[in-house]
Each structure stands twice: as C-alpha cells, then as structure tokens.
C-alpha cells in the first residue's frame, strides 16, 4: 500500500511481547479481577478472571478460577489456595478489593507455549521468594541535545 512516507510497514512484536516467563515460582500482583463466564455454550460456568503481573516481567498473564457446581471441593480448594496466597479473607468476592494484592504462584509453560499459573503458593513456599520487583529496564537511549538550527524539519 502506497503512503506519503514511502514506508513498507511490517508488524513486529515489542521486546515485552516476545519475552516469555520461564517455568518457576514467582511473586505476583493482581492488576485486574472480573467476573466472567466460560465459553461452553451448553453448560457455561461462572469464573473469576485474574490479570496478574509477574515479578521482574512487564507482561501480564491471565488466570481463571472456575466455579464447578458439580465439584464444589475442587472449586473451594482453588479459592482457598488463591485467598491464602494473596492475603484475601476467605469468601471475599468483592473483586475490586483484590487489586494490588501480592501473592505468589508456580508458572509452567503449556504445550502451546503459553505461561499458565499451575497453582498459587502460600506459607513458607511463598515467604522464601524475593519481594515483588518491577520489570527489568532496557538500556536507555541517550539523545544528544539539538540546537534549533540543527533540527531537520
């Protein structure tokens, strides 16, 4: 497609998009929590969709806690694990109160190459991890100051 810049644009991934989080245990922070429904059209299930920041990485990963009416034990186990890891009172379903809470979890790469939270960590497993850290910064490009006469436009 012709354009006034005479540029052939090709979409590329940013440094942060292509950065994969390796398998391991990480501190996490809740950046988003919302009510969702599964895609199953025959028997849809309620879910909590969590947007999680991972210590040392700029990318967010998503985790879903699915409410299984036919298997309350599994649902309650997953909720208890989540609540304990993030220091949320058991049975608190005020999703807005989750924002900014810190916990920890085990990340594993699935067969499609996506990072998934295998389970959340609590107690000594969580406590042995270093504090949550922001993403590592890329080297900064230092630009030289230009005089007005040197500006190319």
Tens digits of residue pLDDT in 93-132: 999 999 999 999 999 999 998 999 999 999 899 999 999 9
Task: Give the model's pLDDT for residue 136.
Answer: 78
Task: Give the model's pLDDT for residue 37.
Answer: 94
C-alpha 25 chain-centroid distance: 14
Quick one: residue 134, left, alpha or beta (phi over 0 = left, psi -120 to 50 = alpha)?
Answer: beta
Report the C-alpha gap between 76 and 82 in whole angstroms. 10
Report the C-alpha gap between 105 and 110 in whole angstroms. 15
- Positions of the chain with pLDDT under 70: 1-2, 12-18, 137-153
Task: Give the model's pLDDT for residue 138.
Answer: 58
Q: What is the model's pTM?
A: 0.78
């Amino acid at each position: 497609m012709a354009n006034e810049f005479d540029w052939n644009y090709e979409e590329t991934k940013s440094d942060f998009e292509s950065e994969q989080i390796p398998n391991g245990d990480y501190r996490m922070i809740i950046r988003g929590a919302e009510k969702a429904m599964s895609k199953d059209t025959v028997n849809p299930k309620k879910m909590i969709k969590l947007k999680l920041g991972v210590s040392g990485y700029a990318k967010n990963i998503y985790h879903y806690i699915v409410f299984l009416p036919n298997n309350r034990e599994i649902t309650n186990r997953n909720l208890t694990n989540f609540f304990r890891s993030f220091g949320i009172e058991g049975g608190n379903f005020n999703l807005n109160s989750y924002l900014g809470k810190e916990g920890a979890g085990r990340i594993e790469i699935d067969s499609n190459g996506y990072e998934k939270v295998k389970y959340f960590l609590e107690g000594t497993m969580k406590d042995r991890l270093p504090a949550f850290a922001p993403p590592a910064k890329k080297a900064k490009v230092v630009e030289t100051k230009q005089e007005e006469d040197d500006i190319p436009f």
